[in-house]
Structure 1
Amino acid sequence: MSEIINNREKVIENKTERQEMLKKIIKDLHNGKSVDEVKAQFEDAVGNITVAEISQLEQALMEEEGIPVSEVQRLCSVHTAIFKGSIEDIHRSETPEDQPGHPIHTFKLENKEIDLLVNFKMQLHLERFEKEDSEENINKLVEDLNLLYDVDKHYTRKENLLFPYLEKYGIMGPTQVMWGVDDGIRAAIKGAKEKLTNYNGDKKAISSAVYFVIKETSEMVYKEENILFPMALQTLTEDEWVKIAHDGEDIGYCLTSPAGVWKPERKEVKGAAMSDGFIKMETGLLSLKQLELMLNHLPVDITFIDQDDVVRYFSHGKERIFHRTKAVIGRTVQNCHPPKSVHVVEDLLREFKAGIKDVEDFYIKFRDKYVYIRYFAVRDEDGEYIGTLEFTQNIDPIQAIEGEKRILS
């Protein structure tokens, strides 16, 4: 046991020594030395350096050496030229998730940017605010929070692309819990920003709100990288990762973008070709292409949920009000909503199935739109419940109508 302890202490000592050497290299760069001049020192110091150690180094430069965030960011482009080759050699992997463009690779790239923003930049700005609550320091924190809200895209891709596939394999609990925490982080960012924009001199309230954002965001990064991502990599198929990578573009990325386009070493997955057949209905005959185009040209968004609460179809017009991805197809509607609103969905479907209601309406302000959301119970000729139709429309233009129009414009 004593031998193990001694070895562990030696590792810690070597790590500390290496970090001191690396810190000296960065300071030399800061003082004007060229990349070529410090390369030899770096090769002696690098050992098995990890990305985490570089992060610790950057934080030490700001906190202990007093180098401003802007200067550390400028130095990043310089010391990356030295670090890049060594880190890539150490961490080079043939596994798909380590290849540029793979969804996990992109999620991790975003997490690095998130970590840099909250634990270096925002932390430093908060400490300055605590010393002096000047307008400049308040504005710096507001800017940080505005940037951080980009995390909404990261969470939305996770919730709407990754979670549906995990749920398909029966992994429900972790996704529902994590979605609830994501919503809490979104709300905390908005709340901290609101306190800052309406600052009343209560420094303690600001500190508490911003520290909470830093803590919760950092913990989510840890949970994703140590729990969610490994679980997903063990579960999902290559085809599913291809679809997630493709659909991610529709939602967007957080603070950065994919480092490349990921293509597995095989023939690229393609969706099944649409049949050229026709669908005969009671009041007409349409080709599949005509039917799909017709539905996509409706000035409303429609979604159909079957009798088992599974999403079977949604229209895909040019400007959807609420975002949908193909990953929701085959997913239960309860798992398409954040945990805090699932009970509303459950109550509505229960009343439709019991025949208590045939329609329910909601109307909400959403961004720059006034949205009218209607749900209809779909029943067959015998009155049996077949599913639910969701019908969503921006009614702002309709409410603005006045007078009459009887001729062509």
Structure 2
Amino acid sequence: MSELINNREHRQKILKEVIKELHEGKTVEEVKAKFAEVIKGVSAKEISEMEVQLVKEGLPIEEIQNLCDVHAAVFKGSIEEIHHPEEVPGHPIYTMRQENKAIEEHIENVIKPNLVRFKGNDSKENIFTLIADINLLWDIDKHYSRKENLIFPYLEKYGITAPPKVMWGVDDEIRAKIKDIKLSLTSYKGNKDEVAEKVEEMLIQIKEMIFKEDSILFPMCLDTLTEDEWISIYDESDEIGYALIAPEGKWNRVRVNVEQKAKEEINNTVDNGYIKFETGILTSKEINYILNTIPGDMTFVDKDNIVKYFSQGKERIFARTKAVIGRSVENCHPPASVNVVDKLVDDLRRGKKDSESFWIKMGDKYILISYFAVRDENGEFLGTLEFSQDIAPIQAITGEKRLMSE
């Protein structure tokens, strides 16, 4: 038996059976007992390979996602201890682990005690306290956004696609639950037990995600990403922000990204020249600042569905990081919306549509999101332009304005 357990292919086969048996309805304890010896010492990398293989064999991402928390419970305590290069304050993974600690402390020391008070007495004071706790917990969105927009693109480069898709789907479930709980509390209708149950379920799912990140995702990333890639992640993290804490000082990076330096030198040379258009000439610097001055977010995806460009205005609506450049547009959206994205781009490509628009409320903002097919003079499809704009100020316009403001 030990020879079989040490056989990589055999263990991979057994690990897939674990998930499939859970899918068929067996309990966590039944599966864990049956495969106790096999899963002992299983690595994060093997779990990743298992999920990739399951997707290749046709198991939908949503199925793995639904089993994600159970799957984590099966492997909890059995994942091998993996030694990595020393993590120092400021390193992206160090910061993410510190965020996870802060989130756990907020759950254990603040939300749970206040939830107990709410369950005992659903007074206005206790409701408002819980709302404040949940509002602060929403900071977790920044943690998840950095993970999805900065770390996942690099994992995809190395062919690691299934775990990020599963994890992103669960992140969105947690986001949705936080929003639903906040709505339930702000429009409280006396359904104390129902609200408390929602909060408890959400907290369990968040703690399971913390376990999956600390035990599976982070070790996998440290094994896979290069120093230069971590530098890029570090440099772009501030744009998205952090959850509950700030990084502990600056990360003293060891290496210089020689490739990036070369690109910067080339770009500096280009800045001194002009680019000719049909209706004029501009320098690349002028083009860059013109696009960034337009009041809205622009993203261009080429005909092969690869993200090629995004603008960086002063007041961005949606977070974008440089890691998205060169990434497939399908991997830039949550799994639940991929089908909509695919259908939209296909309609634009085939000429069924030239544009499509959506509009959503985001706090005080009213966001118009428009997609346009970009075609050349012969009608050949070159790609898709996404333009997002806060139209609330435009909708508020009344009457006429003929004089310049002071």
TM over 0.5: yes
| C-alpha displacement of 1:388 | 0.8
Which residue is equivalent to 2:334?
A: 338
The answer as to whether partners of 2:111 and 2:133 remain within 8 angstroms in 1 is yes
SS at match of 2:319: coil
- Quick one: distance in 2 between partners of 1:119 and 1:352? 49
Deviations 1:274-327 (A, max 9, x none): 222221222222211111112111223221100111110011111122221111
Which residue is equivalent to 1:310?
A: 306
The answer as to whether partners of 2:228 and 2:256 remain within 8 angstroms in 1 is no
| Residue 374, structure 1, aligned to residue 370, structure 2 | yes
| Residue 231, structure 1, aligned to residue 220, structure 2 | yes
1:106-185 equivalence runs, <5 A: 106-185=95-174
Q: Mean alpha-carbon deviation: is it higher for 202-211 or for 302-311?
A: 202-211
Which residue is equivalent to 1:383?
A: 379
Residue type at the aligned position of 1:264:
R
| Larger RCO (CA under 8 A, 6+ residues apart) | 2
Deviations 1:370-397 (A, max 9, x none): 2222211111222221101112222223
Which residue is equivalent to 1:95?
A: 85
Gaps of 5+ in 1: 1-92
Deviations 1:50-93 (A, max 9, x none): xxxxxxxxxxxxxxxxxxxxxxxxxxxxxxxxxxxxxxxxxxx9
Q: How much is the aligned-residue C-alpha RMSD, in angstroms? A: 2.1
- Quick one: distance in 2 between partners of 1:153 and 1:309? 26
| C-alpha displacement of 1:141 | 2.7
The answer as to whether partners of 2:274 and 2:284 remain within 8 angstroms in 1 is yes
| Residue 327, structure 1, aligned to residue 323, structure 2 | yes
Deviations 1:338-395 (A, max 9, x none): 2222222111111111121111122222222222222111112222211011122222
Which residue is equivalent to 2:278?
A: 282
Residue type at the aligned position of 1:240:
E
Higher radius of gyration, 1 or 2: 1
SS at match of 2:141: helix
Compared with structure 1, are the counterparts of its residues 292 and 199 closer, same or farther at alpha carbon in structure 2 (3 Å cutoff)? closer
Residue type at the aligned position of 1:304:
F
1:242 aligned to which of 209, 231, 235: 231
Q: Give TM-score, length-normalised by structure 2.
A: 0.73
The answer as to whether partners of 2:165 and 2:334 remain within 8 angstroms in 1 is yes
Residue type at the aligned position of 1:152:
D
Compared with structure 1, are the counterparts of its residues 148 and 285 closer, same or farther at alpha carbon in structure 2 (3 Å cutoff)? same
The answer as to whether partners of 1:302 and 1:392 remain within 8 angstroms in 2 is yes
Residue type at the aligned position of 2:194:
A
Residue type at the aligned position of 2:282:
L
Compared with structure 1, are the counterparts of its residues 214 and 397 closer, same or farther at alpha carbon in structure 2 (3 Å cutoff)? closer
| C-alpha displacement of 1:406 | 4.5
| C-alpha displacement of 1:407 | 5.1
The answer as to whether partners of 2:84 and 2:223 remain within 8 angstroms in 1 is no
Q: Percent identity?
A: 54
SS at match of 1:260: coil
- Quick one: distance in 2 between partners of 1:397 and 1:131? 44
Alignment length, in residue pairs?
A: 316
Which residue is equivalent to 2:291?
A: 295
The answer as to whether partners of 1:119 and 1:214 remain within 8 angstroms in 2 is no
Which residue is equivalent to 1:76?
A: none
Residue type at the aligned position of 1:256:
I
